Amino acid sequence: MIKHNLKEQRSNILEEMAEAALKVGRRANEISLMAVSKLHPYEEIHALYELGQTLFGENRVQETQQKFPIDRPEKMNVHLIGHLQSNKAKKALELFDCIDSVDSLKLARKLESLLDRPYPILLELKTAEEETKSGFPNEKELLHALDEIAAFKHLRVKGLMTIGPLECGERETRSAFNRLYTLYSQIEVRYPEMELDTLSMGMSSDFRWAIAEGSTLIRVGTKLFGQRIYG
Ligand SMILES: *Cc1c(COP(=O)(O)O)cnc(C)c1O
């Protein structure tokens, strides 16, 4: 029962992604789907994995630790997409394949100090005023931090992430995504040796607009799993 719904919902989303890409002259295979599995049980995550979904997003260290088995399948990639407190940095590095929500120089320094292997991260920019609590507050601060992070031995910046303004219209939402795209392009020029490949933007309600603005990774929860069960 669960499996059937997930299968249908996942293929609907993949179809919509392809349509949205085609509409703006992009290739469907330039864009990946992250299944945002916060507040959904491991049973469903594993069912999706068996359908070919390998990338998952979680927003809390503790929930991830409790929910996933220690020996999860090797190809099941789990990224952190929520704000990370420095005191949980060590645990996060053990649990996640990538931290997509690095939002301060302080956190980046902390992660770097704990590492003895290359480790991928994304930097998160805050592009909407009220709705999001995390993210570098503006481009200038992110670029300033990047000057230092770029020289780190272990952290590898793979790209950028943002949460667009929620419950806004097309124009405002797209303009937030366009800000991230612009910043990404600037970073590509400024740090040609950085191997950037990820522009993470777009969620259930706005991923079509994000794809039109250049997203390479959309993060979908509700539209895939249905409503999250709180509590
Ligand atoms: C929950 C969450 C999502 C998914 O949101 P939906 O609207 O359920 O698709 C995406 N990104 C982040 C950072 C989230 O916390």
Structure tokens at 5: 């719904």
pLDDT band for position 228 (cuts 50, 70, 90):
confident
Nearest residue by C-alpha to atom 12 in ligand 1: 81
Q: Which ligand 1 atom is at minimum distance from the Cα of 34? A: 10
- pTM equals 0.96
Beta strands in 127-183 (DSSP E): 155-161
Ligand 1: residue of 132, 203, 209 to mutate (most ligand atoms within 8 A of CB) is: 203
Ligand 1 midpoint to CA 175 (Å): 19
Give 180-202 pLDDT, tens digit per residue.
999 999 999 999 999 999 999 99
- Ligand 1 pocket check for 40: Cβ under 6 Å: no
Domain extent listing, the chain: 2-225
Q: Does domain 2-225 have CATH number 3.20.20.10?
A: yes
pLDDT digits (tens, 9 = 90+) for 59-108: 999 999 999 999 999 999 999 999 999 999 999 999 999 999 999 999 99
Q: Which atom belonging to ligand 1 lies closest to the Cα atom of 225?
A: 8
Q: What is the chain's percent helix, strand, coil content, to nearest 5?
A: 45, 15, 40
Q: How far apart are CA 134 and CA 150, in angstroms?
A: 21
Distance from the alpha carbon of residue 220 to the mean position of ligand 1, in angstroms: 6
